[in-house]
Chain A
Amino acid sequence: MGTVSRDAGTVDRRRPTLLHHWLVVRAIFRRDFISYFRYPLNFIFSLISPFVWALPVLFMARAFSTGARNEGFAAYTGTSDYVAFFVIGGLVTSYVGSVMWGMGFSLRQEMWQGVLETNWLTPAPIVVQLIGRSLWSLAITTFEGIGILAIAWALFRFSFTGHILPALLAMIPVLIGLYGLGFGIAAVVLVTNNANTVIDLTNYSVQLLSGSQFPVRVLPRVLLAVSLFIPLTYGMDAIRGYLLGTKTLLPPSIEMAILLAVMVCFVAAGYLIFRKVERDVRTAGNLAFH
């Protein structure tokens, strides 16, 4: 961080260390924390809204089910517990939305509020700032996820019959890979100046095609081919396989290997794209245009 040395009056241009990055991330997290609780309705709606999104699907499943069992669904997946299947998909994809909105939409908000250029001028690397922006969003998503699990269990009674530890391990490459996607989305927001449409469409399409609500086997061939190119499909499939014993697309160990490889590629590609776009908008001087 460039700090002015009092005795010499010169600028300290040492390379920023991990500690400096941590301080930046912590400051952004604190700012988002304060902003979040400054709007008390935010907190209440955060508890309600994810569940409200889940209920239409869960009630729709009821229209096809006899008691707690869904035989049609079991024929596709090997489990008749649609609620458990859906809850896992919902939890995993909520992190997708969290990273996308946390990194993409916050840029847009700063454009509106007129502080984007100012924040960009600080010596804190913009990539670190973006990561900081996503962290509060991830924390809230985790909190909401626990709430959803509790309420869904109380109302619909599902159970995880498999192994939790490998499922949690499978989440790690999924989450890290998502940051690559987040950098890409942030780049698109800088280019288009339109966060809502870009994030909404991408988020929904990824959720849809990765099978957050249904087994991807029901997709028509063209869409299934697209779905198999989305790493999240394998992540969700592996997690469900571990937790529910569902039929997986590939053996879980192969799905994990795919996830690890894709994680590295996504983060590298997302970072490079973002840096390129950042250079372009700075050269064009339209960073804060909205």
Chain B
Amino acid sequence: MATIRAAALRSRALPRPSLAAAIWAAAWRELKIFIRYPAWFIAMLIWPSLFPLGYIFTSRALAGPSGEGLARYVSFTGTTDYVSYILTGTVIWMWLNTMLWNFGNTLRTEQQRGTLEANWLAPVPKWFLLAGNLLVDAAQWLLFLVVGGVEFYFLYGLRVHGSPLLLSLVLLASLPSIYGLGLIFASLVLWAKDIQKAVDAVRGTMMVFCGMTYPIAVLPAWMQSISHWLPLTHSIRATRAVVAGQGWTAVSGDMAFLLVSGFLLSAGGLITFRATERTIQRRGSLGEY
């Protein structure tokens, strides 16, 4: 009896499980791992300006030495400035790409390292692992945006002609849909068990349908109808509009779509994660890879 009482006293002395503390611990761990591999910093400096280069030089080749191909391009986009057009598309796409890698890797890497089951035993909702990652990913994205903005300004001469505040609102409105998609993606990676191909499929689909480097008017009609339903299409279109100097009326429709789709995707993400959690616990396949 005395032993049971002592155990009860000890258990009372233990701190109550705190979700916030768990999220912070997961975020802190991700940050430490991120800092431990300095090559990521180099990547963050190089990728924003390197990635669009291929598309920019391709456009230059397609436009021709005397701009022979530009008339057709203008009829689609209304601008001859293909550099700004490509930069705004690629920067939003790179956000999605980084998020997919970070979110997809969160659970998958733990599976491979053999630490997922141990962390899963934490007495808090299991999405704390992804929430911690979200904090680090958002911080990385902010850093990426600042670095990319400076590089675009000096290397490519990109200028934002519209309101910076409106541009920030567009990016904020894109946040829930991007991370909602991330939540769904991270859950599905536990099923698919292959991060590389899963990322390739999602980011590739978005790249094709969302008009990252071209106007969606060049797509066949059936592809255009799909692209209208993808939040990234609206994020890219609204960002391009603000960069080109347009105001609220030009982006209000896209903003409304982003907010509604963001809510739906976030809710869908939580439901998918919960369903995955239940299934893999029942099957006992959490640590399998």
* Residues in A lying within 8 Å of B, measured CB to CB: 39, 41-42, 45-46, 48-49, 52-53, 55-57, 59-66, 70-77, 82, 112-113, 192-194, 197-198, 200-201, 204-205, 207-208, 213-215, 218-219
Within 8 Å of chain A (Cβ to Cβ): is B219? Answer: yes
**Nearest chain B residue, comparing its CB with the CB of A109:** B112
Asked, given contacts A48-B201, A197-B39, A207-B54, whether A62 binds B218 with beta carbons under 8 Å apart, the answer is: yes
Within 8 Å of chain A (Cβ to Cβ): is B260? Answer: no
**Nearest chain B residue, comparing its CB with the CB of A49:** B200
Q: Which of B255-289 touch A at CB < 8 Å? A: none
Within 8 Å of chain A (Cβ to Cβ): is B226? Answer: no
| B71-79, B120-128, B130-138 - the one binding chain A | B71-79
**Interchain Cβ contacts under 8 Å between A and B, 25 examples:** A39-B192, A41-B192, A41-B197, A45-B201, A49-B201, A52-B204, A53-B200, A60-B62, A60-B218, A63-B215, A64-B59, A64-B72, A66-B72, A72-B68, A73-B64, A73-B69, A76-B65, A77-B61, A194-B37, A197-B37, A198-B39, A200-B43, A204-B51, A208-B54, A208-B57
Are B72 and A213 in contact, CB atoms less than 8 angstroms apart? no
Within 8 Å of chain A (Cβ to Cβ): is B205? Answer: yes
**Nearest chain A residue, comparing its CB with the CB of B193:** A39
Min Cβ gap B127→A in Å is 23
B76 proximity list for chain A (CB < 8 A) = 63
Are B207 and A52 in contact, CB atoms less than 8 angstroms apart? yes
A62 proximity list for chain B (CB < 8 A) = 214, 218
Chain A interface helix/strand/loop/mixed: helix
Residue among A41, A72, A207 with the most chain B CB within 10 A?
A72
Contact among B64, B68, B198 with A41 in the assembled complex (CB-CB below 8 Å): B198
**Nearest chain B residue, comparing its CB with the CB of A219:** B57
**Nearest chain B residue, comparing its CB with the CB of A194:** B39
Contact with A along B59-95 (1 / 0, CB 8 A): 1111111111110110011000000000000000000
Are B61 and A204 in contact, CB atoms less than 8 angstroms apart? no
Contact among A41, A63, A218 with B218 in the assembled complex (CB-CB below 8 Å): A63
Q: Which of B154-199 touch A at CB < 8 Å? A: 192-194, 197-198
Alpha-carbon gap, A190 to B212, bound state (A): 35
Alpha-carbon gap, A55 to B192, bound state (A): 24
Are A75 and B66 in contact, CB atoms less than 8 angstroms apart? yes
Contact among A71, A197, A200 with B68 in the assembled complex (CB-CB below 8 Å): A71
Q: How many A-B residue pairs have CB under 8 A?
A: 150
Are B194 and A41 in contact, CB atoms less than 8 angstroms apart? yes
Are A64 and B63 in contact, CB atoms less than 8 angstroms apart? yes
Alpha-carbon gap, A49 to B60, bound state (A): 26
Are A49 and B197 in contact, CB atoms less than 8 angstroms apart? yes
Alpha-carbon gap, A66 to B70, bound state (A): 11
Are A59 and B194 in contact, CB atoms less than 8 angstroms apart? no
Min Cβ gap A97→B in Å is 12
**Nearest chain A residue, comparing its CB with the CB of B192:** A41
Contact among B40, B61, B205 with A215 in the assembled complex (CB-CB below 8 Å): B61
Alpha-carbon gap, A77 to B64, bound state (A): 10
Alpha-carbon gap, A205 to B57, bound state (A): 13
Within 8 Å of chain A (Cβ to Cβ): is B8? Answer: no
Residue among A60, A61, A62 with the most chain B CB within 10 A?
A60
Alpha-carbon gap, A219 to B60, bound state (A): 9
Given known contacts A72-B70, A76-B65, what 7 new A-B pairs fall within 8 Å (CB)?
A41-B198, A57-B58, A70-B62, A71-B64, A72-B64, A82-B62, A201-B43
B207 proximity list for chain A (CB < 8 A) = 52-53, 55-56
Are A46 and B197 in contact, CB atoms less than 8 angstroms apart? yes
Residue among A66, A192, A193, A214 with the most chain B CB within 10 A?
A214
Are A75 and B43 in contact, CB atoms less than 8 angstroms apart? no
Asked, given contacts A64-B69, A113-B112, A208-B53, whether A59 binds B58 with beta carbons under 8 Å apart, the answer is: no
Min Cβ gap B155→A in Å is 11
B65 proximity list for chain A (CB < 8 A) = 72, 75-76
Are A56 and B212 in contact, CB atoms less than 8 angstroms apart? yes
Are B213 and A208 in contact, CB atoms less than 8 angstroms apart? no
Are B208 and A55 in contact, CB atoms less than 8 angstroms apart? yes
A112 proximity list for chain B (CB < 8 A) = 109, 112-113
Min Cβ gap B117→A in Å is 16
Are A75 and B68 in contact, CB atoms less than 8 angstroms apart? yes
Alpha-carbon gap, A13 to B105, bound state (A): 44
A76 proximity list for chain B (CB < 8 A) = 61, 64-65
Are B200 and A63 in contact, CB atoms less than 8 angstroms apart? no
Asked, given contacts A45-B200, A112-B112, A207-B54, whether A218 binds B60 with beta carbons under 8 Å apart, the answer is: yes
Alpha-carbon gap, A193 to B37, bound state (A): 8
A214 proximity list for chain B (CB < 8 A) = 54, 57-58, 60-62
